[in-house]
Each structure stands twice: as C-alpha cells, then as structure tokens.
Structure 1
Amino acid sequence: MKNSSCPASNSKCSIGVFDSGYGGLTVLDELINNMPEYDFIYLGDNARAPYGTRSFDVIYEYTLQAVEKLFSMGCQLVILACNTASAKALRTIQQRDLPRLAPNRRVLGVIRPSVEALGALSQSKHVGVLGTVGTVRSESYLMEMAKLYPDFIVTQEACPTWVPLVENREFENEGGRYFIKKHIDSLLAKDRQIDTLILACTHYPILKTEIRNFLPDNIQLISQGQIVANRLIDYLERHPEIDKVCSKKGELKFYTTESISDFEEKASVFLNRKLKAQHIAMN
C-alpha cells in the first residue's frame, strides 16, 4: 500500500467509520450532525457480525481487513466505531500494522475517549459500564480507567440480549423492557454508589429512553456518539496535517458485506433517514 495521503485514482479522502454491524451508525449520526461539511464512508461487516463472541485473533483479523479496505478507498483516518474492535484490535493495529502499512494514516477507537468522559463527569468515583459480552470480558474499560483514574471503582454488566432487541425492533414491547430492566437492576445491585453510566456498545443509544426509565434520576447516562464527535473535532484541530487532506463536500457513502436491502432497512433505525448502500467484499 502506498503511503500517499490519498490514492492517485481517488481525489477524495473521506473519514472512514467502521463497525461490525449497525451500531456504529449512532456514532456516524453524531459525526454528521457535528461535522456536516466532512465526507464519511461507513463500512459495516454485517455478514460476519456479531464480533462480540469471536476470539481475539479473529476480531483482530476482521478489523484489520476493514481498516485496509477503508485505506484503499482513500481514507486518511479511520474510526473504529465498535467497542469490541476497539478493545481487541485497535492497539495492535496502531502499534504493529500502521508503521508498515501506512505510517501517515491514523486509526482511532471509542474506548479511551469514553473513559476520559466518565472520569470527568463522575462525582462519586463509582462508574458503570453496560456492554456486550466481548467488551466486558476484554476488561478494556477497567484497564483504561486504571491508567487514567486509578482511584475509581468500575462495575460492568454484560447485556447479550440488547443488540438483538435493537436490530429486531423489540425494545419497546414488554419482553424487551424486561431484559433492559433486568440488566440495569443487576448492575446497580453490584454498586449502589454509581453516579455515571456509559453505554459501551454503539447499539445501546437506541435504547436510551427505555434505559433512562429504569435509572434513578441522579445517575448520568452517557452515549459514545457525542463524545467521539467532540474528540474527533479536537483531534483534527490538533492535527491540521490530517485535517487538510480530509475532503469536505458533505458526502456520505455506505458499504455492507451483507445484503444491501437488509442493510438499508435496518440502518434507517439508527440514522432516521433513508440511504443507499453498496455491497463490498472484505477479502
């Protein structure tokens, strides 16, 4: 792969946004709202989702393939809008792969900025993490909190039913609310001093209204989309050499490794807009 800012055949350098499925669209939505002039390419590896139950090596392999695919499309900067990929692949890609593949390009994740926000907002120093099984088992939030806020107490809760609730649009019925309440109650039973709670899966903002109904008023509920958008704006201000090669025509492109029609239908739940997608093969 050439290390030029953009491939010669592509004059655009969109910002790439990757997720194993649809949840990353909640991050993209905030990026669009806060950075409407920028061009974005969204890549969903829907054919191989979910990543959360897969091994470290497989998640790393799939994520690297996605990053390389987005680089080949001209992306100078790629956001891993997926907690599982950020937890299990980001550091290896940053430290081992970028120096040989594309040292002038960047790959960023969602976990570190989320942890920084948690630490800045919590008064009790007791925070909660709601995530997928893969994210919780990775203990990435615990490790990042230990680095940045070693005196904080972090309590996690894996919510394996929540992603299907979102994708099947079952979160507003009685059964869906039962599973939402079940995990909220389980988390709070572990630590009654929690005052700040992060939705550590990009699907979960779709459930925010339902989650809020089962939380005490004193607990702050944080979604990652706005955090990532704010941090990306700050990052580009601090790295003008990257910002200047990001194209700014307000264009959006969507790619999926699965059925185009399925992606377009389900993506509308996350973006509240109609969109046109294209199919793409990862290997």
Structure 2
Amino acid sequence: MNSTFEKDNNASGPIGIFDSGYGGLTVFKEIHRILPQYNYIYLGDNARVPYGTRSFQTVYEYTKECVFKLFDLGCNLVVLACNTASAKALRTIQQQDLPPGKKILGVIRPTTESIDQYTKTNKIGILATQGTVLSDSYKIEINKFHPKIEVFQHACPFWVPLVENNEIDSLGAHYFVKNDIEQLLTQSKEIDTIVLACTHYPLLLPIIEKYTPQGIQILAQGELVALSLADYLQRHLEIEKKCSRGGDLQFYTTDDPRAFEEKAEIFFGQKVHAANIKV
C-alpha cells in the first residue's frame, strides 16, 4: 500500500472529510463555504455508527480504515470532522500510520486553540458524547494552550439520536437539552462559554439557545474548524499545492446511499448525491 502512496506522492487530490455518520456535514458545510475552490470527498461510516460509545481501539481501527480509503481515493489531506475520532484516533494515526506525503487533521485543536478569545471568566463548558468526555481531550488540549482556563464537561447521550431521527424540535429534544444544560451549569455558576463538542449538536442550536441563560456564548465548531483549515493551508503551501481545485463534491457512505442522501440534506443544507463504498 505504501509504495502506491510514494509513487503518487506529488499528485494533487481532493480534500477528504471523514465522519462516523452525518454530523461532520455541519463542519464540511462551513469548510466548503469558506474554501469553495477545492475539490472534496466526504465519507460517512454510517454502517458502523455510533462511534461515541465504542472503545478507543475500535474507534482507532474504524477511523484508520476510512482514512486510508480516502487516501486510496487520492486525498492527500484528510480532516476528521468527528470529535470522537479526533479524540480517540487522530494522535495514534498521526504518530504511527501516516504514509509519506499524507496529512490528517482533527476538529479539537482548532477549537481549543482559540477558546481564550471567547471566555472572560476562564470557565468553559463542554457538551459532547460520552466517548469525547471520557477521553478528556478537550481538558488536555485546553490546558496545554490555556492553563488558566477551567473546563467542565457533560455527556449528552440522547442528542445524537434525536438529531439523526429528525426529532430536533420534539418534546423529547426540549426535555433532554434543558436537562443536560442545567446539569452542566450546576458544575459552575461562572461558565460563560459553552462548546458544542459534537458535530450533530448545531442542529439543536435553537433549542440550546432557548435553555441557555443570557450572557453565555455558545460555540459550534464548523466555522472555527473551517477558518483554522484556511490558515493551515496558507501556512503549509506544500500541502495546499497538493489539494486539487474545481469545486467538485463527492459523497460516500458505508451504508445505504439513498438513506444517506435524505438525512444529509438536513446537515449539509443542500441536496447531495451519494454512493456506497466498502472500507
């Protein structure tokens, strides 16, 4: 496999966007809005979702398989538009598995690097899946960049199913969102910024805003990740030159493409055409 990568080391290719399912489309939407000139391939591992409750080893293996599939499809740069994959798999893949000339980025660092620009009390809340919370990735990364900031976390296990079943304005959604926000805020009365550390959560934003006290900022990751990617490409021209241009968008799923297309429109904001792919 590596010999193929080495042979095609200088060939340009699309930017790969990976997620365990649909949520990464909210990040991809912002990346495409800010950087529309590039070609992209999105891969959703819908057949094996959810990742949030799986072990570190399983998430690592699944993520690696999908990332290498994107490499096979010609991508030189892959963005893990998934908090769980970024928390449980990114570092290991970067350190152990990357073929020559290939790069992989996550969504956690772009968020943690800039968090000090938003909080005045140095107390922030993280709403995420159980896997992301248990990984402590946000605490570790924020402490690395901003040791004065205190991080409070709360897992929201019902939010992803609510979004994926299009129950985003149901009574159940209102109940769980209100309850989870209250539980987070009981950890500290000084929290002034909440990070939505799951790419599904922006679809619940109207309800989240309803139950979040005034004066508390709510940060979705899409724009932060997109701006960080734009900056990364400006600083790493050797990578930017290997990202093909033309605005072509391709969508792949490991599950039923018709079902993917129906839900993807909710996340991406426009109709998409998808194909099935084996990893």
Gapped regions of structure 1 (runs ≥ 5): none
Describe the superposition over 1:84-133 as per-residue Cα deviations: whole angstroms up to 9, x where unpaired.
Answer: 000000000001111xxx12110000011111122221110000000001
TM-score by length of 2: 0.96
| 2:203 corresponds to | 206
Task: Say whether the 8 Å CA contact 2:12–2:76 is kept in structure 1.
Answer: no
Gapped regions of structure 2 (runs ≥ 5): none
Shift of 1:5: 8.0
Q: C-alpha distance in 2, partners of 1:238/1:4?
A: 23
| 2:170 corresponds to | 173
Residue 128 of structure 1 aligns to a residue whose secondary structure is strand
Candidates 245, 261, 267, aligned match of 2:264 = 267
Q: C-alpha distance in 2, partners of 1:228/1:6?
A: 28
| AA in 1 matched with 2:58 | V
Change (3 A) 1:112 1:7: closer
- Aligned runs of 1:84-233 on 2, under 5 Å? 84-98=84-98, 102-233=99-230
| 1:16 corresponds to | 16
Once structures 1 and 2 are overlaid, which stretch shifts more, 213-222 or 250-259? 213-222
Task: Say whether the 8 Å CA contact 2:18–2:44 is kept in structure 1.
Answer: yes
Q: C-alpha distance in 1, partners of 2:8/2:190?
A: 49
| 2:5 corresponds to | 3
Q: C-alpha distance in 2, partners of 1:119/1:72?
A: 38
Describe the superposition over 1:237-268 as per-residue Cα deviations: whole angstroms up to 9, x where unpaired.
Answer: 00111111211100000000001111000101
| 2:80 corresponds to | 80
Task: Say whether the 8 Å CA contact 2:12–2:241 is kept in structure 1.
Answer: no
The percent identity for this pair of structures is 52
Residue 36 of structure 2 aligns to a residue whose secondary structure is coil
| AA in 1 matched with 2:226 | A
Task: Say whether the 8 Å CA contact 1:24–1:203 is kept in structure 2.
Answer: yes
Describe the superposition over 1:161-201 as per-residue Cα deviations: whole angstroms up to 9, x where unpaired.
Answer: 00011011112022211111110111011111001110000
Q: C-alpha distance in 2, partners of 1:192/1:248?
A: 48
